[in-house]
Chains A and B, each alone.
Chain A
Amino acid sequence: MESLAHSGHHDRSRHTPCAGYHSMLNRRGFLGLAGVSGLTWLTPLGQLLARESEHKREPATSVIVLWMQGGPSQLETFDPHPGTDIAAGTKAIKTSLKDVQLAPGFGRLAEEMQSISLIRSMVSKEGDHERGTYTLKTGHRPDPTVVHPSVGSVCCHQLPSTGVEIPRHVSILPGQWPARGGFFGDKHDAFLMDDPAGPVPDTQSYLPKGREADRLKHLDVVEGAFAKGREKRVANTMHSETLANARKMMSSEQLTAFDVSKEPESVRKMYGNTPFGRGCLAARRLIQVGVRCVEVTLSGWDTHANNHTQHTKQLEILDPAFSALIKDLRERGLLEKTVVVCMGEFGRTPSVNPAGGRDHWPKNFSAAIAGGGIRGGQVIGQSDPMGKNDPTDPVEVGDLHATVLAAVGVDYTKVLQTPIGRTMKLAEGKPVKGLL
């Protein structure tokens, strides 16, 4: 069992912060080093082991979450039921997979379906936006005794950081409840970024170089005075170190990963000229420089009225961005290393209300997952075409999280201790059979 240290100080010695970049010697690094330095005499066995591992797939290294804030209707996205009552007129289109249909509006995504799997039997118990978002983003239901970390924070916390000078956990177009570090601490919170058409917030100094250097000199004088009589404790605040890391980030070349204008026009066009499209493109650029997890939010799915027209509009944004991301990652050989999940906090009711809308429906909804060694072209579970019964092969939110963690090589059964000493599994579930 890994115990989570309480004080910030102890914490730092064990875990590398998400938003930090300094690479410390962690367990993996240490093992690697030990392998290089002392264990090479075990050559025959070493070779055998090496050969064995060639057959095993390397785990994925990054996660991209396409977050559909508001709760998309499964019937107008990944799980259409044309011709039934619950379809309420929504038709379906063919895809590159035989027997698998998508809602109209997914014309481009339909061509990528060999890389994507659909889970049509997601189930949850949370029908409120905030609680549902918490559940889907962390894999745990809200619990007053602990704040759970989001999947991106778990990846950053559990996997090593090497050579990344910018935050390893990023939320683009953050909605109301961006991914948090939970009890791992706010240094694991996602770095918030608006439309990548604009600059990265607060990373540009507004002063000429010389004057900045002067200001830092002044700062040293003030810090010196404060440290008197509390040297060690002031050092423990990590204030100066954090400031130095922030300055390193400001001058890092990797910051340009946010800058989508560096991409050829054809690529930008493929993702769509929308904030969400640019967000997806930036996500690809970010994982290329080693960022662990990027969350890109598309809001507007809370269709209590005019469900169908609103979904048509949403798909005009989602279809090009999602399909371009999959295609682009695949063509660059990055899809194998990147898990892409597209999900929202719940689905929408099979019945249509008098305002032409669909209301919240956590009992059965859909998610799409691709890349990172996850088998493509699969459909997990079936929803009831009458909208009355539970789906077959239900997938709990914890199962989806276990799947993602397993794909990036994190032991999802690992038990951590929360700050109040309660034990908590990284994921409350098992990977979905048929996806790994």
Chain B
Amino acid sequence: MDWARNLLFIGVVVGGLTTLAANLLPPSEPAPVSQYVAPSYREPDFRLTVVRADNAFRKDWDEKSLNHSELATNLIQIRRVALGLMGTIPSLEEIRQIEALPADQQMPWWIDHVLKDQRFHDYFGERLARAFVGTEDGPFLQYRRRRFVTWLSEQVARNKPYDGIVRELIAGDGLWTDHPATNFITVTVRPEMKNEPDPVRLAGRVTRAFLGIRLDCAQCHNHPFTEWKQADFHGLSAFFAQAHLGFRGIQDGDGAYEAEDRYTKTKSVIEPSVPFLKEHLPANGARRDRLAAWVTHPKNEFFARSTVNRVWAIMCGKPLVEPIDNLEPGVQIPVPLQILADDFAANGFNLHRLIRLIASSEAFRLDSASKYEVGEKEEKAWAVFPLTRLRPEQVAGSVLQAASISTINAETHITIRLLRQIERSNFVKRYGDTGEDEFEGRGGTIPQSLLRMNGELVRDRIGGSPVNASTRISLVAPNDPKAVEVAYLTILSRRPTPKETTYFEQFLNEPGLGRSDKLADIYWALINSTEFSWNH
């Protein structure tokens, strides 16, 4: 196999050299688009939903006498879209393209551009997967998380209606390798349970991930704060009692769901039933098909609400109702959430439309800074955009992107992408993956600070290597103010304030270090700032 190894080696070297050359040459940008007509944003019913949501927010602020902030700059909004949907910051190349457009066309162009980008499909697919199957490795033989995420990415890419995605998850048949949606079922398979799917865990997942309620708390006892009864939970579990794992993967057969009474220890057979909106449960069909139809029924408001709450959280770093699966009956549903949920259900559970709506809403576009004294109250009511800590993948993605002027996307050379992938996962491991609890408000940790200050990834990315942005800027920026501006745009997606410009110009003029070392120092400061590690 020596020849194979040699071939591989040559391949890597050639690939590396090609990338190096490609990076040393000025980026060959296609002529920027100068006009963007986006009909989807102009449709009257789209506009109407945006206006209604905006009005509902404003009414709430008025009632609470809250001052709201001004709109954030387009670039900051663009950064939010990039982080929320692709897990990375926009590249300098992309910023240049955006700025070639008239101001009012920048966001529509960017959102539509992102919706077509594979980085969005992959990142969003992973975020959905966390809600659906968590982060666990699952059973070794019967579970392929990778396949599952890839499948989700594909559905996101072709904008498959969300109710259809969920129906396949709940009711799909077949092998987990062939029909990746069935991994939703097989992840619960355990050897102690004779390698059969676990109805209890599945019922918990379904209610939590698709309906935004915590019915699984009623698994052991009647829920203390809500109306859920233990029987409700068992009734839902029973829908999965006939899903079996065999040679053809997940298939429906027969079987009954038996629940044990915690006190009397007697077992009884429970028939499938739903806890509310019973009129929408089909009377006939396979058990899982019936459940899937009920969960995704357009009249089942829990489904649309929980999806809107989750997509909002993915895009903004914080859900409208916290915690994310606390949309229990009796919890007050914010009016804007209901407006978006109604639109989502009325328009065939169109995820891309929902994303466009959220990104077009005033609350998404408001500045995180305000001339008024604002605090937690305003953040809670979305009168000011909240500060939320970026997730480890977002920080890793941003560091990697910040080190390059051109966009690192699916078209980037495979060796670079592979390398980035490895660096990213190592970084995320040390940075501390937040797992499933994605939207807990938390401050940063000391290991994270250490990693940003001294870690290999940041050191290598900002250091003197010829492929890094700091070096390239120092080579190509015609003068110091331009070099400082390019550094700010590349890392913080904004221009420096006059004070910052003066300060760093002066620093670049000082004798001592070489120019690219000085730029590396500026890079370091920007990457270690609060602004870089937080969504704002």
Enumerate chain A residues within 8 angstroms of B432, measured Cβ to Cβ.
186, 189
B443 pairs with A242, CB closer than 8 A: yes
B530 pairs with A239, CB closer than 8 A: yes
B214 pairs with A239, CB closer than 8 A: no
Q: How far is the CA of A247 from the CA of B191 in the complex (A)?
A: 47
The answer, among B323, B326, B371, B533, for a CB contact under 8 Å with A239, is B533
Is B524 close to A, CB under 8 A?
A: yes
B534 pairs with A239, CB closer than 8 A: yes
Enumerate chain B residues within 8 angstroms of A206, measured Cβ to Cβ.
454, 459
B454 pairs with A215, CB closer than 8 A: no
Is B409 close to A, CB under 8 A?
A: no
Q: How far is the CA of A20 from the CA of B444 in the complex (A)?
A: 11
**Chain A 226-251 near chain B by CB (<8 Å), digits 1 or 0:** 10111011101111101101110110
Is A421 close to B, CB under 8 A?
A: yes
A218 pairs with B521, CB closer than 8 A: yes
B529 pairs with A219, CB closer than 8 A: yes
Contacts known (A144-B208, A187-B442, A237-B443); A221 close to B530, Cβ less than 8 A? no
Contacts known (A130-B136, A234-B530); A191 close to B447, Cβ less than 8 A? yes
Most chain B CB atoms below 10 A, which of A8, A144, A222, A232: A222
Is B42 close to A, CB under 8 A?
A: no
B503 pairs with A221, CB closer than 8 A: yes
Is B440 close to A, CB under 8 A?
A: yes
Q: How far is the CA of A374 from the CA of B192 in the complex (A)?
A: 34
Contacts known (A185-B440, A222-B500, A230-B368); A145 close to B217, Cβ less than 8 A? yes
Is B139 close to A, CB under 8 A?
A: yes
Distance between A369 CB and nearest chain B CB, rounded to angstroms = 26
Please, how many residues of chain A have a CB less than 8 angstroms from a CB on the other chain? Answer: 67
Please list 24 pairs of residues, one from A and one from B, whose beta carbons are closer than 8 Å in the complex, sorted by A's number: A6-B441, A7-B441, A20-B446, A128-B190, A144-B204, A167-B447, A183-B437, A192-B430, A201-B430, A201-B455, A202-B454, A206-B459, A211-B513, A222-B531, A225-B499, A229-B369, A230-B536, A233-B375, A237-B387, A239-B534, A240-B530, A245-B449, A246-B449, A246-B453
A243 pairs with B449, CB closer than 8 A: yes
Q: How far is the CA of A128 from the CA of B371 in the complex (A)?
A: 54
Enumerate chain B residues within 8 angstroms of A226, measured Cβ to Cβ.
529-531, 536
Taking A8-B442, A225-B496 as known contacts, 20 extra A-B pairs with beta carbons closer than 8 A to each other, sorted by chain A number, are: A130-B136, A147-B435, A189-B445, A191-B447, A202-B451, A202-B455, A215-B524, A216-B525, A222-B526, A223-B530, A226-B529, A229-B367, A229-B369, A232-B375, A243-B449, A243-B453, A245-B449, A246-B449, A249-B450, A250-B450
A420 pairs with B326, CB closer than 8 A: yes
The residue of chain B having its C-beta at the shortest distance from the C-beta of A363 within the complex is: B192
Enumerate chain A residues within 8 angstroms of B61, measured Cβ to Cβ.
none
Contacts known (A230-B368, A243-B453); A19 close to B446, Cβ less than 8 A? yes
Q: How far is the CA of A223 from the CA of B536 in the complex (A)?
A: 14
Is B151 close to A, CB under 8 A?
A: no
List the 4 closest A-B pairs by CB distance, nearest first.
A229-B369, A218-B525, A246-B449, A202-B450
B371 pairs with A229, CB closer than 8 A: yes
- Contacting B at CB under 8 A, from A163-212, are 167, 176, 183, 185-187, 189, 191-192, 201-206, 211
Enumerate chain A residues within 8 angstroms of B441, measured Cβ to Cβ.
6-8
Most chain B CB atoms below 10 A, which of A7, A130, A214, A237: A237
Contacts known (A144-B201, A202-B455, A237-B530); A8 close to B450, Cβ less than 8 A? no
Q: How far is the CA of A236 from the CA of B530 in the complex (A)?
A: 11
**Chain A 1-27 near chain B by CB (<8 Å), digits 1 or 0:** 000001110001000010110000000
- Contacting B at CB under 8 A, from A120-179, are 125-128, 130-131, 144-145, 147, 167, 176
Q: How far is the CA of A7 from the CA of B217 in the complex (A)?
A: 23
A233 pairs with B379, CB closer than 8 A: yes
B447 pairs with A192, CB closer than 8 A: yes
Enumerate chain A residues within 8 angstroms of B63, measured Cβ to Cβ.
none
A186 pairs with B442, CB closer than 8 A: yes
Most chain A CB atoms below 10 A, which of B69, B192, B367: B192
Sorting the interface of chain B by its residue count into under 10, 10 to 19, 20 to 34 or 35 or more gives 35 or more
The answer, among A6, A202, A225, for a CB contact under 8 Å with B453, is A202
The residue of chain A having its C-beta at the shortest distance from the C-beta of B326 within the complex is: A420
Task: Show the binding face of A for B, using Cβ within 8 Å.
Answer: 6-8, 12, 17, 19-20, 125-128, 130-131, 144-145, 147, 167, 176, 183, 185-187, 189, 191-192, 201-206, 211, 214-216, 218-219, 221-226, 228-230, 232-234, 236-240, 242-243, 245-247, 249-250, 360, 362, 419-422
Enumerate chain A residues within 8 angstroms of B374, measured Cβ to Cβ.
230, 233
Enumerate chain B residues within 8 angstroms of A421, measured Cβ to Cβ.
225
Distance between A364 CB and nearest chain B CB, rounded to angstroms = 14
Q: How far is the CA of A220 from the CA of B435 in the complex (A)?
A: 32
Is B73 close to A, CB under 8 A?
A: no
- Contacting A at CB under 8 A, from B492-536, are 492, 496-497, 499-500, 503-504, 507, 513, 521-522, 524-526, 528-531, 533-534, 536
Q: How far is the CA of A206 from the CA of B463 in the complex (A)?
A: 11
Distance between B519 CB and nearest chain A CB, rounded to angstroms = 11
Contacts known (A223-B529, A242-B446); A230 close to B387, Cβ less than 8 A? yes
B503 pairs with A245, CB closer than 8 A: no
Q: How far is the CA of A125 from the CA of B225 in the complex (A)?
A: 29
B437 pairs with A147, CB closer than 8 A: yes
Is B122 close to A, CB under 8 A?
A: no
Q: How far is the CA of A246 from the CA of B446 in the complex (A)?
A: 5
The answer, among B136, B192, B326, for a CB contact under 8 Å with A127, is B192
Distance between B73 CB and nearest chain A CB, rounded to angstroms = 13
Enumerate chain B residues within 8 angstroms of A218, measured Cβ to Cβ.
503-504, 507, 521-522, 524-525
B504 pairs with A185, CB closer than 8 A: no
Is B104 close to A, CB under 8 A?
A: no
Enumerate chain B residues within 8 angstroms of A242, measured Cβ to Cβ.
443-446, 448-449
A130 pairs with B137, CB closer than 8 A: yes
B446 pairs with A239, CB closer than 8 A: no
Enumerate chain B residues within 8 angstroms of A19, measured Cβ to Cβ.
445-447
A360 pairs with B434, CB closer than 8 A: no
Is B310 close to A, CB under 8 A?
A: no
Is B472 close to A, CB under 8 A?
A: no
The answer, among B214, B371, B440, B521, for a CB contact under 8 Å with A145, is B214
A128 pairs with B521, CB closer than 8 A: no
- Contacting A at CB under 8 A, from B23-69, are 69
Contacts known (A229-B371, A233-B375); A419 close to B326, Cβ less than 8 A? no
Most chain A CB atoms below 10 A, which of B368, B450, B521, B524: B450
Enumerate chain A residues within 8 angstroms of B289, measured Cβ to Cβ.
none
B453 pairs with A205, CB closer than 8 A: yes
**Chain B 409-450 near chain A by CB (<8 Å), digits 1 or 0:** 000000000000000000000101011110011111111111
Is B2 close to A, CB under 8 A?
A: no
Distance between B439 CB and nearest chain A CB, rounded to angstroms = 11
Distance between B371 CB and nearest chain A CB, rounded to angstroms = 6
**Chain B 365-394 near chain A by CB (<8 Å), digits 1 or 0:** 001111100111001000000010100000
B376 pairs with A128, CB closer than 8 A: no
B534 pairs with A237, CB closer than 8 A: yes
Q: How far is the CA of A216 from the CA of B449 in the complex (A)?
A: 13
Enumerate chain A residues within 8 angstroms of B526, measured Cβ to Cβ.
222
The answer, among A127, A219, A222, A223, for a CB contact under 8 Å with B190, is A127
B192 pairs with A125, CB closer than 8 A: yes
Is B144 close to A, CB under 8 A?
A: no
Distance between A296 CB and nearest chain B CB, rounded to angstroms = 18
Distance between B376 CB and nearest chain A CB, rounded to angstroms = 7
A222 pairs with B217, CB closer than 8 A: no
Contacts known (A144-B204, A144-B216); A234 close to B454, Cβ less than 8 A? no
B371 pairs with A360, CB closer than 8 A: no
Is B119 close to A, CB under 8 A?
A: no
The residue of chain B having its C-beta at the shortest distance from the C-beta of A7 within the complex is: B441
Is B79 close to A, CB under 8 A?
A: no
Q: How far is the CA of A359 from the CA of B374 in the complex (A)?
A: 59
Q: How far is the CA of A221 from the CA of B536 in the complex (A)?
A: 18
B434 pairs with A186, CB closer than 8 A: yes
The answer, among B444, B499, B524, for a CB contact under 8 Å with A221, is B499
Most chain A CB atoms below 10 A, which of B446, B497, B524, B526: B446
